[in-house]
Every structure is written in C-alpha cells, then in structure tokens.
C-alpha cells in the first residue's frame, strides 16, 4: 500500500508509536488522518501537527468503535487504512494478577482489534480493498517473561491478525502485524521516563518504528519487525522449543536478580 491520498485512522494516536505513525502518514501524503484516543488534548495536539482531525474513542468499548467508524466514513466516504494501535502494558505477574486487570488488558489488547475489524470490514469487503495494521508486539511471537497478561493478550492479537489475513486476503484485504521489541514510549519508560525495564537496552525511537511500518505497508508484509533480531529469536523458538524456554528462564532470573 502506498499511503498517498488514503484515509487513515490511528487508534492510540495521541502518543508514542501512534503519534509517530500519524506524522509519517502525513509526510506520505495521506488524504485524511484521524487521531482516535481517550486523551483528547494530546490527540488534538497530534491532529494539529499532522493536519488531521481528532476523534474520541475508547477502543475497549464497541459502541465507541462503531461511532468512530461511522463518523469517519460519513465524513470522508471510506477508510483505506485502519491502524489498530492502542494498547496497554498492565501489571507484571502471572496467574496471581487480579481478574479485573486481566480483563482490562484483554479488552484493550485483543477485543479492540476485533471490534475495529468487525466495524470496518464490511465496507472494505464491499470495495474489495482495505488495509488493517495491528500493533501487536514481539511478545506476541516470543514471550514477555515478566507479564503474563500482556504476553497472553499479544499472542491472541497476533493470532487474530493471522486469521484475518487467511480469511480475507483473496477478497482484497491486506493485514500486517507490527511486532517491535522495546520502543522509547511511556509503556517502557514510564510517565517520568525513569521506569526500570530490561527492554530499554536496544529500544528504538517511535519514528524508527514508523519508518519500518511504511516499508512494510509498501511490501504488504504480514509481519513488520522493526527489530530484525526478533525474526532470529522466533526461528530459534520454533527450532528448539526446550532450549528457548531454558534461555528465557535464565534471562528472567538474571533480570529479577538485578532488582533484589
């Protein structure tokens, strides 16, 4: 996909990767860029920066998603590229994490992709064209050993992206899943930029991720990997699962030991 003259929605567009994507789409000559977020002030700032518009959308609420798709379609006539980018990290931990935390992460990191696809696919299928970009994570291919809710939700999001691509490719729909490792955003840096996180080493800037997205969209690649080493890790995982699990156990112990 070439983004020139395209109508684009970026959910979670007020910060981080979403903001960088919006800026990059503007430089590519997108016809319209819609910044959808719950942080209205920040979303408006980004919209002003890229010459787009801001719309409120809580992507964990299907009624909000439906309104977003209807409003953008009514205003611009179509949606060419939907970037389902909103996501949350949640808490570290595993089975002991409270049900309401698991549920919230599931709603934002998984159900939002489903709600958005459900709302936008009918018009794309009618036109036999359209693109869905899901921001997932390298944790969807590998595992984030500190946070089970996050990694489980990202595995599910990737699986849904795979299903969409299999089911709708021949109808003209293209799907990509963006799977970066560490990115210098609030998710790993924290609100004050001082959060301790093992992913900070080797982290990319959001603008670098956005550049990888543009290249991936042009090539219509399903997996967009801003960190190319993720592909190697994924191959190692598939080749020798037991060895890969042993390695992750050692890494987890090493990271946790530095925090004692």
User: Which residues form the catalytic set?
Assistant: 150
CB-count burial class (<10 Å; 0-12, 13-18, 19+) for 252? middle
Tokens of 188: 């790993």
> Do 183 and 204 form a contact (C-beta atoms < 8 A)?
yes
Go through the chain and tell me how many residues it has. 260
Q: How far apart are CA 219 and CA 213, in angstroms?
A: 10
Q: How far apart are CA 14 and CA 43, in angstroms?
A: 4
Q: Which residues pair with 173 in a beta bridge?
A: 130
Give the three-state DSSP class for 11: strand
Q: How far is CA 39 from the centre of its chain?
A: 17
Beta carbons within 8 Å of 181's beta carbon, 6+ residues apart: 137, 138, 199, 202, 203, 204, 226, 227, 229, 230
């Amino acid at each position: 996909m070439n983004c020139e003259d395209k109508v684009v929605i970026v959910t979670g567009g007020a910060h981080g990767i979403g903001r960088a994507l919006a800026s990059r789409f503007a430089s590519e000559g997108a016809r319209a860029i819609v910044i959808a977020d719950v942080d209205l002030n920040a979303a408006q700032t980004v919209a002003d920066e890229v010459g787009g518009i801001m719309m409120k959308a809580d992507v964990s609420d299907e009624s909000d998603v439906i309104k977003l798709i209807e409003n953008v379609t009514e205003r611009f006539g179509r949606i060419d590229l939907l970037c389902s980018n909103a996501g949350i990290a949640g808490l570290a931990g595993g089975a002991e994490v409270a049900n309401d935390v698991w549920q919230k992460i599931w709603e934002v990191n998984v159900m939002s992709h489903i709600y958005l696809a459900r709302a936008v696919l009918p018009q794309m299928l009618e036109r036999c064209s359209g693109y869905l970009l899901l921001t997932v994570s390298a944790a969807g291919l590998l595992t984030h050993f500190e946070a089970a809710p996050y990694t489980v939700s990202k595995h599910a999001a990737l699986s849904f992206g795979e299903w969409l691509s299999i089911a709708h490719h021949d109808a003209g729909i293209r799907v990509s899943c963006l799977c970066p490792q560490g990115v210098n955003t609030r998710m790993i840096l924290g609100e004050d930029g001082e959060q301790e996180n093992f992913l900070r080493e080797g982290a990319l800037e959001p603008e670098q991720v956005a550049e990888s997205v543009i290249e991936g969209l042009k090539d219509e690649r399903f997996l967009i990997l801003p960190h190319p080493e993720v592909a190697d890790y994924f191959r190692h995982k598939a080749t020798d699962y037991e060895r890969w699990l042993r390695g992750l156990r050692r890494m987890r112990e090493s990271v946790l030991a530095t925090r004692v």
